[in-house]
Amino acid sequence: MALQADKIFVNLPVKDLNKTVEFFTQIGFEFNPQFTDENATCMVISEHIFVMLLVEDFFKTFTKKQITDTAVSTEVIVALSADSREQVDEIVSKALAAGAAAYNDKVDHGFMYSWSFQDINGHLWELVYMDESTVNQG
């Protein structure tokens, strides 16, 4: 039987938790106060998707490996689905206005549209809209 998890918790290290919360709040994300303190917060992406933003020193207590230096390398790209091309543009534009850096240019494959940014901690985020009506239901 294949593993079927019903929730995902992405854990990301951050340099300044308050600035990070402020940044993602400006984009439109909300946080679960039950899982928020001076070391971490739980950013709610959807009913089943969460991002745990952990202060670097606290993050280090969960791993024996070094934290990736996002200025020179990438460990993960967090890709989120959007409901429309307009929503992709809206979210990335809000991120850029809140202090994110543009990462890749918009990519338009007709059936799929994406745009990405680098957050204030150097993590890469990509917003993707896919026109499901064009996907072969074969």
Task: Please write the tens of the pLDDT for every residue from 4-19.
Answer: 789 999 999 999 999 9
Distance CA 108, CA 128 (A): 10
Is 99 inside a domain boundary? Answer: yes
Q: Is residue 65 part of a domain?
A: no
Residue 115: which of 101, 135, 133 has the closest Cα? 101
Give the amino acid at 113. Y
Within a domain: 18: yes
Tallying the residues shown for the chain, one arrives at 138
Here the CATH number for the domain that contains residue 27 is 3.10.180.10
Cβ density class 13-40: b for 16+ within 10 Å, e for less: bbeebeebbebbeebeeebeeeeeeeeb
Q: Are 23 and 91 in contact (CB under 8 A)?
A: no
| Global pTM exceeds 0.75 | yes
Domain count for the chain: 1
User: Does residue 59 register a pLDDT over 60?
Assistant: yes
Model confidence over 61-88: pLDDT tens digits? Answer: 999 999 999 999 998 999 999 999 999 9
